[in-house]
Amino acid sequence: MAPPPALLLTRLMLRDFRSYPALTVPFRARIVVVSGENGVGKTNLLEAISLLCPGRGLRGARTAELGRRDGGLPLPWAAAGRFESAPWSSFDIGTGTPEGGPPERRVFRLDGALTRSQAELAERVATVWLTPQMDRLFQDGASDRRRFLDRLVWALEPHHAREVAAYENAMAQRNRLLAQERREGRVDPQWLAALEDAMARHGVAAAAARRGLVSRLNETLAGGITGAFPAARLDLHCAVAAALEADPALAVEDRLRAAWAAGRRQDAAAGGAVEGPHRADLLFTHVPKNLPAALCSTGEQKALLIAVVLAHAALIAEARGFAPLLLLDEVAAHLDAGRREALFAALAALPAQAFLTGTDGAIFRPLAGIAEAFRATPGELVSDNDLPVPPGH
């Protein structure tokens, strides 16, 4: 079977975005390397690319934070990209603050026309990213791992974000009502029941989507797609997801409604629901060592994350019919020379377009003759014709 076509970003244009007053840069290769000192805008560049897809980008920043500052105030900003991907051939996506509009508002354009929703973009573009902040995933709290998982699910099931948002909104309203009841002695029980019904419906849908993705990722990881990287196994710790293994969704919803109704006093004292999909956690295991990721070395943890990201990219390619963009910020940090070469070999074999950043251009030596290289300086990106050639080549 032929590999799926790659989604290719062939040109990026920025205006007053973060540290870039203005930038127009073409990309001609399937692997793009950007090197430069800390603070010159390498991550800003990847963030701009991530914002051409649905969502809030790899930093999760608010729209008002993205404009370049002038006298302390954010300027209106814009980012646009030209893409090549079957079956649409070339198309343009743009995003930014509307002309004359508030800095908090963000709009999208597809081939110059305003889009009705971000779902229109989800049909054509997808990105997978790995950032240095994700290196702390194994030490941070369950909420960080849950957000990581939800982002992976959303890339394959765009409606998942709505389910999670609806669940969290209903839960927040229920928490406020329970706090009010504790202060004043009584609230409308029908209102609480309606919120618990919404929590059950949306929460079970979110848990089912998480459970489905973890299962598919484990199958892909077990298939050896990650090459020289250690096999990882993911385990979803979620009572709701576990219940779905034995019972139909409607029965699980009914049990959740009953449990929340019976536990209102306990939840009021705790300041929130003590059980539900919002308590889910995602755990990683280094399969060859049968060792939890939290106990692995920093290099092993980075290798496990890379394995999961590569497997996720393969799932997107299979499900969407095109390989996503890979945005890998400082990806070679904490990898030894052997693992770096394994990563570069895996990227060269994938149909996806990959953007890599690093402070030291020399670590990208194995990509000489394959990658297109740039050097980042404050506000600029210039071609780097001096990417070192590997010894013996």
Side-chain-facing half-sphere of 369: CA atoms under 13 Å: 5
pLDDT tens per residue across span 196-226: 999 999 999 999 999 999 999 999 998 876 6
For residue 176, pLDDT over 60 is answered with yes
Residue 102 is encoded by which pair of tokens?
A: 């508030």
Residue 256 is encoded by which pair of tokens?
A: 């959740």
Find the angle CA(14)-CA(15)-CA(17) to the nearest 5 degrees: 80
For residue 376, pLDDT over 80 is answered with yes
Identify the band that residue 242 occupies on the pLDDT scale cut at 50, 70 and 90.
Answer: very high
> What are the structural domains of the chain?
1-138+323-393 (3.40.50.300), 141-295 (1.20.1050.90)
Average pLDDT over residues 102-115: 89
Quick one: which of 363, 355, 361 has its CA closest to 386? 361
Binding-site residue positions for ATP:
36-43
For residue 14, pLDDT over 90 is answered with yes
pLDDT tens per residue across span 113-168: 999 877 788 888 889 999 998 888 998 899 999 999 999 998 888 889 899 999 99
Binding-site residue positions:
36-43
> Tokens 């929590």 appear where?
199
pTM of the predicted protein model: 0.87
Q: What pLDDT, on a 0 to 100 scale, did the predictor assign at position 2?
A: 62
On whether the CB atoms of residues 95 and 109 are closer than 8 A, the answer is yes
Q: What pLDDT, on a 0 to 100 scale, did the predictor assign at position 75?
A: 87
Between CA 228 and CA 343 the distance in angstroms is: 8
